[in-house]
Amino acid sequence: MAGSIEEVKKAKKLFMFIGLLLFFFTIVTVMVASVEWLDFGGHGFDAVDATIGLAIATFKASLVMLIFMHLNHERPLIYLFFGLGLLMAFFCMWLIGWSKSDPIQFGNPNSSDGFYNPDKPSTESHH
């Protein structure tokens, strides 16, 4: 972390640059969502747009963490704390994603729309 006055002065320039970079990528995100020639994948919002949007957001978040929150040169203890928090957050999200591959299905796929309906138990065996 910046300690001496010279280092702090130098860091200020970096902070300003990162701020501008964050502004720029925010505009890129909005353009990807609203400008037609930047609409990748199918027409309208789809998984490709979601991937691009989240990738840009992750990049922006990384800049904030590394530069503004000084995680580019921190003590190991901080990485441990923050890493555990992130691990827990990703674990929660992984659980949700994992539940998508749950083999148990609700409803009879031949006679219902597949949404949960306790009155229509599935007649097919699950794999």
Give me the residues that bind other proteins (CB under 8 A), please.
Answer: 2, 5, 8-9, 11-12, 15-16, 18-19, 22-23, 26, 29-30, 33-34, 42-46, 49-50, 53-54, 56-57, 60-61, 64-65, 68-69, 75, 77-78, 81-82, 84-86, 88-90, 92-93, 95-97, 99-100, 112-116
Identity of the residue, 57 or 72, whose beta carbon is nearer to other proteins in the bound complex: 57
Closest CB to other proteins among residues 61, 123 = 61
CB of 34 to other proteins, least distance (A): 6
**CA nearest to 38, candidates 53, 58, 23:** 53
Instruction: Decide: 34 and 28 in contact? Cβ < 8 Å.
Output: no
DSSP code of 41?
A: S
Q: Which residue has the tokens 């300690």?
A: 3
Give me the torsion for CA of 25, 89, 73, 75, rounded to 10°. 160
